[in-house]
Amino acid sequence: MVSSLKPVIRAQALSDQVYQVLRTNVANGQILPGARLQEVQLAAHLGVSRTPVREALTRLASEGLVASDGRSFAVPSLALADVDDIYEVRGLLEPEALRRAADLAPDTQARAAVQQALDDSLAADRAGDHAAFVAANARFRSAWLALVPNPRLVHAVELYADHVQHLRTRTLVDAKVRKAVLRGLKAIGRALANADGEAAAAAMREHLDEARRAFIAAVGLDHDQARSSSVKR
């Protein structure tokens, strides 16, 4: 055995790289709902062969971020029932994840990233800087998720949040929505600082309710909801 040998550092698999690029662009709204995802065009644009593109799209389809009819892929347009399903799952996962983060009573240094992201969100709102607010909001989310001790729970939270992440750039343009979001972030921050798991879970449930309402209004699904209620009556 040659003790001086070190493990070879392998580059990330090409299909993983394509997956990350496509997932990021779907999540941030660069690839919009309803868009068709053609393997040939994507491969040419990314400078890769069709195989890693197909593998990446298949993986995204398994997570529900794209839809497949067996021959092609597309970013699905969400109906009201889809939104309700997604927020139901998020309502089961995220309050419990935050409860666990708070109950561990992380030290001040561990909570510092949460507080900094909250401060950045407040500053961005005062400046009316929509892009900075979206970025700070994403950092706040990453910061509290970093405190959750169960990595599988974190993965599940991130997966279902990604289904609606692209709407943040649309909903957070509205100053009223930003104010509602800030109320939720402040409540979550206080609960974490006090290591109060129950308060953290309650704050997250209210925060998700606000987010769902803003999402539905942003894409006009509230009109569908009103029509459905009218028909039932």
User: Is residue 107 scored above 60 in pLDDT?
Assistant: yes
- pLDDT single digits (tens) 2-38: 555 555 445 568 889 999 999 888 877 788 778 889 8
Tokens of 51: 């195989």
Q: What is the pLDDT of residue 223?
A: 52
CA distance 71 to 60: 15
Q: What is the pLDDT of residue 31?
A: 82
Q: How far is CA 72 from CA 53, 82, 161, in A?
A: 12, 21, 24
Region 168-172: mean pLDDT is: 74
CA distance 204 to 210: 10
Domains assigned to the chain: 14-74 (1.10.10.10), 80-232 (1.20.120.530)
- pLDDT single digits (tens) 117-144: 999 999 999 999 988 998 899 899 999 9
The band of 226, judged by pLDDT with boundaries at 50, 70 and 90, is: very low
